[in-house]
Amino acid sequence: MVIAFSPQSALGQLLLLRSIAIVLQLVLVLIAILLLDKSIPHQPVFSVIALESLFQLISILMYRRSREISERAMTLQLMADIVFLSVLLSFLGGASNAFVSLLLLPCIIAAVTVSIGYVVFVSVSALAAYGYLYVAVTMPMHHHGMHMGEHLLGMFVNFVFMVVVTVGVVALLVKRIREREALLAKTREKQLQQEQLLALGSAAAQVTHQLATPIAHLNLLLEELQEDFPKHPAVAEMSEPIQQCRKQLDSFREQTELLKLKRQEKSQSTQFVLEQLEELMTLQYPGQSLLVSEKTSSVDIDGDPMLVPSLLNLIVNAAKANERADKHQIELSAFSEAGKWYLTIKDQGRGITQKKLDDLGKSVVESDTGFGMALLLTHATLERVNGELHLENLSEGGVLSTAILPIVGEL
């Protein structure tokens, strides 16, 4: 029989502990009967142990293909342990039995494995089981012994105190450990993302360096062609794209120098940012109509040199989406509110699938259009300047991209 869960999992440890408990129960009962001559009701006790063994076998068969189980299923398993232990103790002295404190064990396991609501349910059930053993089983047996009754009452009060304190402390520690694990996982994810961005930046710098010489060579050839064939239409058409390549290359070098020397302006006006975006889009996508509106007065935002290229990536993605849908209009809307500047970019494309929408900007998404890489870089830049990026599909079609940036000098 193949079992999927491992002994290190919560399910595996619970079933292992129950198997050990069943063996110990059987051994202790046999010792009490054979060596200590204890008056124990044989048939009920062995029947309870047999039912518990059968339940354990059924549990193993049910969950043998599961690596983990739901919180509800785990709670039912713990409730079964409380029921079997309570029934067994009811034939063996009730609350006067030294092993009655084992009812605390399911509460501790619940505090480690399930959420707080299920922990409270298991703890209340354990207290109810102890109360039943104390009231219905133990008190009728010791109603003549005042000192014994006080002792058992003290044990019951101590058990209540132990459940509240132990479960509370364990649950608090588990919560803090999970929060720390989540923080560590987020830190590792961010570190991997930064390493990925560093690799992309290195690759971009390498490609730019390698393209500098061919572009310069093409520019020299273009100048010679302009001298020999000044009126040829092909020469005129070649001039504009080569000039764009040179301009982009120079812009990349300038941004690299600013980042390398850590020289950047403390702030830049949103009006300047919008003018830059409109100018760059006119050069790169003259066939797209860019409708820009700033609904509130211009404010100052972070002067990071990579901010404009990052916002341009969003508009370029919108232009590509429009081209695939044979549309030609992009709407830019900017406004300030509550110390933040909002820039919304609305295209007329076909939208993005929900799965890709959840991953875009957070990791590299495989796509024939290369859509995920630009958003990854944009998201990283906005995070660096304490900004945010939100993407959503529109009901009428297209995607609404919203970049949120803090206004310099405002909280």
pLDDT of residue 108: 87
**DSSP H/E element including 302:** strand 300-303
264-406: CATH number: 3.30.565.10
pLDDT of residue 204: 65
Closest CA relative to residue 351, chosen from 307, 380, 317? 317
**DSSP H/E element including 399:** strand 399-406
Beta bridge partners of 303: 265
Whether the Cβ atoms of residue 315 and residue 290 lie closer than 8 Å to each other: yes
pLDDT of residue 285: 83
pLDDT of residue 280: 82
Q: How far is CA 295 from CA 175, 285, 399, in A?
A: 46, 25, 21
- Given a cut of 70, the residues of the chain with pLDDT beneath it are 1-8, 36-38, 137-149, 192-206, 209, 251, 253-266, 355, 357-373, 410-411
- Cα–Cα distance measured from residue 213 to residue 251, given in angstroms and rounded to the nearest whole number: 16
pLDDT of residue 2: 55
pLDDT of residue 272: 86
- Cα–Cα distance measured from residue 352 to residue 200, given in angstroms and rounded to the nearest whole number: 24
- Is the pTM higher than 0.85? The answer reads no
pLDDT of residue 119: 87
Give me Rg for the CA atoms of the chain. Answer: 36
- Cα–Cα distance measured from residue 197 to residue 93, given in angstroms and rounded to the nearest whole number: 68
| Domain boundaries of the chain, sorted by first residue | 10-183, 189-260, 264-406
Residue 411 in tokens: 């909280």
Per DSSP, the residues of 120-152 read: HHHHHHHHHHHHHIIIIIIHHHTTT-HHHHHHH
